[in-house]
Structure 1
Amino acid sequence: MQDFRTEELAGWGRYPRCPGPVARPRHAEAVGALIGAGGVIARGNGRAYGDSAMGAAATLDLRRLNRMLSFDDQAGRLVAEAGVLLGDVIATFLPRGWFPWVTPGTKFVTLGGAIAADVHGKNHHRDGAFGTFVDWIDVMGADGEVVRASRDENSELFAWTLGGMGLTGVILRAAIRLRPVESGWIAQTTIPAQNLAEAMDAFEAADDASYSVAWIDCLASGAALGRSLVMTGEHVQADDLPPDRRTHPYRTPRKRQLSMPFDAPTAALNRFSVGAFNALYWRRGLRAPRKALVDWDSYFYPLDAILGWNRIYGRRGFVQFQCALPLNASEAGLRALLSETAVAGQGSILAVLKRFGPQQSRFSFPMAGYTLALDFPANARTLALLDRLDAIAADHGGRFYLAKDARLSAATLHRADPRAAAFRAMRRETGCDRAFASAQSERLLL
C-alpha cells in the first residue's frame, strides 16, 4: 500500500506479534488519505497490552500529531493533538500547578489512546475515568470528514468514542481538563491487610481518599488469601510540605533511569521465584513506615522507572487478565479468582486491586465494584488458566478491559458484556466497521 511500510507490531505485552502495514502521517489531511485503505486503526505509543492497536489491514501511528495547541489557565483546559504523551503534559504543566485529573499506571500513553480506552486510575471511586474530564474531541470518520463531538454536540459519537478502542474513527484532537495542585508530592498511607476481607474493608474505609490502590499477593492461600498492601494518597498542599520543600514545591528528585536491557530467561518467573518475591514484598511492606511523603512519579508510575520492564517476562511476552466485578459480587468473585490462581501456582508479581465508583457509559470498562489485574508470562499453561479466570469473572457478572486484552474469546466477551452487541450494531449502521478495524475487533467480532 502507498505510504505504508510493513513492520512487526505488538502491544506492551509483546504478545501476539504480527507483521502489518504501518503509516506515520504528519498531519490530519494525511490521515484522511490513509483511511481509504479500509480496516485501519489508530495507534499511539503502543502501551495497550494486546492487539487493540494493530490494524486488521493497516495501522496509523499518530505519534507525529503531537502538538499542544492552547491552554486556558482559568479553567485548566488543554487543547492538544492525539499523539501528545501524558508525560509531556505533566512535564509542561506540573511546574505551573496543574496535573491530569485521571492517569493510568504509565505516563507513556498518548491522549488519543487514553480517550480511546477511557483509561482509569487510582481515583475512579472519587472522580471517574479519563473521559469525565474530556470536553470535546475531533474525530475523523469513515468518510474522511472531521466531526467535533462533545456531550452537547454529536453526543452519540462522543459517548461511543470514549472506551471505543479507536473503532468509531480516528481521534485527532481533544480538549481535556487538568486539576490544580500545589505541589509535586503525594502523602501516602500504607495499610497492610492480612486477607481479602481486610483489604476490602480498608478500601471502603478509605472511600474519601483521593487515591487508593493495592498490591495483592495472588499466591497467598488459606487464611492469608488476598493479603495486600493498600496504599492511599493525597496531593500535598504547599504549606504542608517540610520547610526544605516549600520554596520549590513542584521540584522532585531526579531519578536514575533504569532499564531492562535483555529478555529474561523464560523459566525465571515460576511459582518459587514469584512466591519468594511476593513474600519479600509483603514483609517489606509490613516494616515500611505507614505514612510517607512520595514524589508524584514514584506514586503514580513506579514501573516507568524501569525502561523495558516488559522484558522480565521473556521473549514470548506476557498477557494480562483484568476484570471488573460488580460490588455485590466482588468479594465472592475475587475469592474465586485468587483461589484459582493460587492453586494453579502461576502467580503474578504485578497483581493490582482497585475500587471503582459508578460509571454509566456506552462501552467503557469500569463499573461500581472492584477491578483485579494480573500479569502472567505468555505460555500454554497461562492461556488455559486465563480461560478459567474468564469464566469465573463472567459467572460473577464481571466484564473485561479491552486495553489489556490479547486473547479473550468473542463468545466470552459477548456473554459478559451485552453492550458489545450494541457497539457492533452501531459500527455497522455508521459504516465504521468497513473503515476501522483492529486485530482485536476482528477476534472479538466487534
Structure 2
Amino acid sequence: MLISGWGRYPVVDARIERPSTYAQASLLLDREEAVARIARGMGRSYGDSALAGNIVEMRRLDHFLHFDESTGALRCSAGVTLADILSVFVPRGWTLPVVPGTRFVSVGGAIASDVHGKNHHRSGCFSEYVDELVLLTGDGMTRACSRSSHADLFQATCGGLGLTGIVLEACIRLVRINSTLIEQTTYKAAGLDEALDLFDTHHAATYSVAWIDCLATGKAMGRSLVMTGEPSAKAMPAGRAGSQPAAPLGVPMDMPSALLNRYSIQAFNTLYYQRVREAETRQQVPYEKFFFPLDGIHGWNRLYGRNGFVQYQFVLPKAAGKQAMKAILQRITASRRGSFLAVLKALGPHNGNPLSFPLEGHTLALDFKMEAGVLALLDELDAMVNDHGGRVYLAKDARMSAAAFRSQYSRWEGFQAIREHYGAIGRFASLQSKRLGLD
C-alpha cells in the first residue's frame, strides 16, 4: 500500500505487517529472507523516519500491563498511545510528565523520537521518564534495557528512530496532578529580541512556548505570542472524562495548494497576532487546549494540498546568540515561504542519547508547502544551522543530506557501533537511515 508520514512527503509503496503479539513480532525476524524493516506507530513523524519497503505496524500491541498506584510506574505495550494513557489516568489524578504537540503518538514512537514538549527546559525529554524498555533486537533476542542493563542500547534506542530494534513494551513514570487546568499567561512580543528575552525572563515557568510570525519583516520580524503555563491548583472537577474532548473540527479533503500562499499566510498571521490586544493576558485553559491545540483539527495536514509539506525544526545552542536566530529567520522571511504554524521554544541541556535532538538553546519549527524551490531553501538553512553549531530534528526530517547529518550529530559513529553490536544493521532500516548513510 502507499503510505507516508504526517507531512505526506515522501510517499512509499510498502508491505505492512501487523503483529498482534510479541511472538508474532519475533517471527518476523526469524524468516530467512534478507529484508530490513522499520517499526511504525501512529504515523505522526513528519518525514521518512518510519517509512520503508517493509513496515511493522505496532498499533495492535496496545495493552496496559501494570500500574503501581503508589509510584506512578506504568508498564504498557509499545502501541499504546499517549491519548490512551491520558484518557485512562488523568481522571485518576496522574498524567504524563512530557508530551509533544499531539497526543496521537504511540509510546514506542515517543521513545524512538525521544519527544520533548513545552517543558523541556525544566523536565527534559520523554526518555527521562522511561525506566525500562523491552526491545526485540536484530539477532532475534528480546532484551530488557535500562540505565543499568544494556545501558548503551537503552540510550541508543531513546531517540534512535527505530534503528536499534522494535520496542515491544516500556515502563514509564507518570506524575500526579491536582487539576486538568493550566494557568496560561500570554505575552505579546513586538519582535524576535523581545520574544527571546521573554523566554529568559520566564525561564522558571513550568511550560513555555511561542507562536511566531515568520513572514513579518523590519522591526516586526519575529513578532510573537509567548505563552507560559503553570498547573492549576484548582481541584479537578468530579467525573472528569480525561483526554476526550468534543469531536474535533476536520479538513475533509485536500485543499487546493494555491490557497496556501504568502498572502493568505500573511493575512492569517496578522489577524492571529492582533487578536491579542493586551501586552499580558491571563486565563485558565483545559490541558488539551494548552498542549494539543492542533489535535482539535482532524486531518489538518490536508491544508497543504496533495503534495504535502515538510516540517523543518532546528535548534541553535544558546552560545550562538540572538543574531544566529535572526539570520535564519531573515532568510526564511526573504523566501516568502513562511508558515502559519511556526513554533518557538526554549530547550534545556542535551541528555546524552546519541541521536536525541534537543540542545540548550532555542528551537524553531515551521511548515513549508512542498513546491519548487523548497528543498533548495532547506539546504541553505541546513548550512546556516551547521555554521552555528545547531541541528535539525530527525523525527521531522524528510530530506537532509548525509553530510549535514554527520556534521550535526557527531556521535553517529558510536550509534552505528551499538547497532552493529546488537545485530541491527541490515535488519532495521528506513528511507531516512539509507538517505543519511546509516544503512
**Class of the TM-score when normalised by the shorter of the 2 chains:** over 0.9
Inter-CA distance 251–124: structure 2 relative to 1 (3 Å threshold): closer
Q: Give the structure 2 partner of residue 281 of structure 1.
A: 272
Look up the SS of the partner of 2:45 in the other structure: coil
Q: Give the structure 2 partner of residue 3 of structure 1.
A: none
Structure 1 position 179 matched with structure 2 position 171: no
Report the Cα distance in structure 2 between the residues aligned to 1:253 and 1:174, rounded to whole angstroms: 24
Q: Give the structure 2 partner of residue 34 of structure 1.
A: 28
Q: Give the structure 2 partner of residue 130 of structure 1.
A: 126
Kept in 1: contact 2:139–2:422 (CA 8 A): no
* Structure 1 residue 304 displacement after superposition: 0.4
What does residue range 70-109 of structure 1 map to in structure 2 within 5 Å?
70-109=66-105
Q: Give the structure 2 partner of residue 50 of structure 1.
A: 47
Q: Give the structure 2 partner of residue 242 of structure 1.
A: none
Kept in 2: contact 1:76–1:178 (CA 8 A): yes
Q: How many residues are matched?
A: 434
Q: Give the structure 2 partner of residue 61 of structure 1.
A: 57
- The Cα offsets for residues 64-99 of structure 1, whole Å up to 9 and x where unpaired, read as 000011101111111000000100100000000011
Kept in 2: contact 1:184–1:250 (CA 8 A): no
Q: Give the structure 2 partner of residue 10 of structure 1.
A: 4
Structure 1 position 432 matched with structure 2 position 424: yes
- The Cα offsets for residues 22-48 of structure 1, whole Å up to 9 and x where unpaired, read as 100101111111124531010000000
- The Cα offsets for residues 84-128 of structure 1, whole Å up to 9 and x where unpaired, read as 010010000000001100000000000000001000000000000
* Structure 1 residue 319 displacement after superposition: 0.2
Report the Cα distance in structure 2 between the residues aligned to 1:254 and 1:80, rounded to whole angstroms: 24
Report the Cα distance in structure 1 between the residues aligned to 2:25 and 2:6, rounded to whole angstroms: 24
Report the Cα distance in structure 1 between the residues aligned to 2:124 and 2:241, rounded to whole angstroms: 25
Report the Cα distance in structure 2 between the residues aligned to 1:73 and 1:279, rounded to whole angstroms: 48
- The Cα offsets for residues 321-342 of structure 1, whole Å up to 9 and x where unpaired, read as 1111111114222111110011
Q: Give the structure 2 partner of residue 163 of structure 1.
A: 159
- 1:358 pairs, out of 341, 349, 352, with 349
Report the Cα distance in structure 2 between the residues aligned to 1:304 and 1:246, rounded to whole angstroms: 22
Deviates more, 1:34-43 or 1:9-18: 34-43
Please tell me the residue identity of whatever aligns with 1:44: G
Please tell me the residue identity of whatever aligns with 1:319: V
Look up the SS of the partner of 2:433 in the other structure: helix
Report the Cα distance in structure 1 between the residues aligned to 2:38 and 2:65, rounded to whole angstroms: 24
Structure 1 position 268 matched with structure 2 position 264: no
- 1:378 pairs, out of 370, 374, 386, with 370
Inter-CA distance 288–65: structure 2 relative to 1 (3 Å threshold): farther
Please tell me the residue identity of whatever aligns with 2:146: S
Inter-CA distance 145–228: structure 2 relative to 1 (3 Å threshold): same
Kept in 1: contact 2:156–2:164 (CA 8 A): yes
* Structure 1 residue 425 displacement after superposition: 3.2
- The Cα offsets for residues 270-320 of structure 1, whole Å up to 9 and x where unpaired, read as 111111111110001235970011001111000000110000000000001
Please tell me the residue identity of whatever aligns with 1:224: A
Inter-CA distance 354–319: structure 2 relative to 1 (3 Å threshold): same
Kept in 1: contact 2:137–2:422 (CA 8 A): no
* Structure 1 residue 426 displacement after superposition: 2.8
Please tell me the residue identity of whatever aligns with 1:406: A
Please tell me the residue identity of whatever aligns with 2:38: I
Report the Cα distance in structure 2 between the residues aligned to 1:320 and 1:346, rounded to whole angstroms: 12
What does residue range 21-420 of structure 1 map to in structure 2 within 5 Å?
21-35=15-29, 36=31, 37=33, 38-55=35-52, 57-239=53-235, 254-286=245-277, 290-361=281-352, 362-420=354-412
Kept in 2: contact 1:185–1:250 (CA 8 A): no
Inter-CA distance 79–313: structure 2 relative to 1 (3 Å threshold): same
* Structure 1 residue 247 displacement after superposition: 5.0
Report the Cα distance in structure 1 between the residues aligned to 2:334 and 2:219, rounded to whole angstroms: 14
Kept in 1: contact 2:90–2:243 (CA 8 A): no
* Structure 1 residue 249 displacement after superposition: 6.6
Report the Cα distance in structure 2 between the residues aligned to 1:94 and 1:426, rounded to whole angstroms: 37
Look up the SS of the partner of 1:380 in the other structure: coil
Report the Cα distance in structure 2 between the residues aligned to 1:285 and 1:265, rounded to whole angstroms: 30
Deviates more, 1:313-322 or 1:408-417: 408-417
Report the Cα distance in structure 1 between the residues aligned to 2:279 and 2:91, rounded to whole angstroms: 30
Report the Cα distance in structure 2 between the residues aligned to 1:123 and 1:371, rounded to whole angstroms: 13
* Structure 1 residue 248 displacement after superposition: 5.6
Please tell me the residue identity of whatever aligns with 1:354: K
* Structure 1 residue 360 displacement after superposition: 2.8
Deviates more, 1:124-133 or 1:279-288: 279-288
Report the Cα distance in structure 2 between the residues aligned to 1:382 and 1:340, rounded to whole angstroms: 12
Report the Cα distance in structure 1 between the residues aligned to 2:148 and 2:12, rounded to whole angstroms: 40
Q: CA RMSD in A?
A: 1.6
Look up the SS of the partner of 1:355 in the other structure: strand
Report the Cα distance in structure 1 between the residues aligned to 2:66 and 2:305, rounded to whole angstroms: 42
Inter-CA distance 215–394: structure 2 relative to 1 (3 Å threshold): same
* Structure 1 residue 143 displacement after superposition: 1.6
Report the Cα distance in structure 2 between the residues aligned to 1:24 and 1:247, rounded to whole angstroms: 39
Kept in 2: contact 1:330–1:370 (CA 8 A): no
Kept in 1: contact 2:88–2:242 (CA 8 A): no
TM-score (norm 2): 0.96
Please tell me the residue identity of whatever aligns with 1:265: P
Report the Cα distance in structure 2 between the residues aligned to 1:70 and 1:330, rounded to whole angstroms: 46
Report the Cα distance in structure 1 between the residues aligned to 2:237 and 2:420, rounded to whole angstroms: 56
Q: Give the structure 2 partner of residue 4 of structure 1.
A: none
Kept in 1: contact 2:90–2:242 (CA 8 A): no
Look up the SS of the partner of 1:434 in the other structure: coil
Kept in 1: contact 2:6–2:43 (CA 8 A): yes
Look up the SS of the partner of 1:435 in the other structure: coil
- The Cα offsets for residues 150-180 of structure 1, whole Å up to 9 and x where unpaired, read as 0111111111110000000100000001111
5+ long unaligned stretches in structure 2: none
* Structure 1 residue 140 displacement after superposition: 0.5
Deviates more, 1:393-402 or 1:428-437: 428-437
Please tell me the residue identity of whatever aligns with 1:371: T
TM-score (norm 1): 0.94
Please tell me the residue identity of whatever aligns with 2:219: A
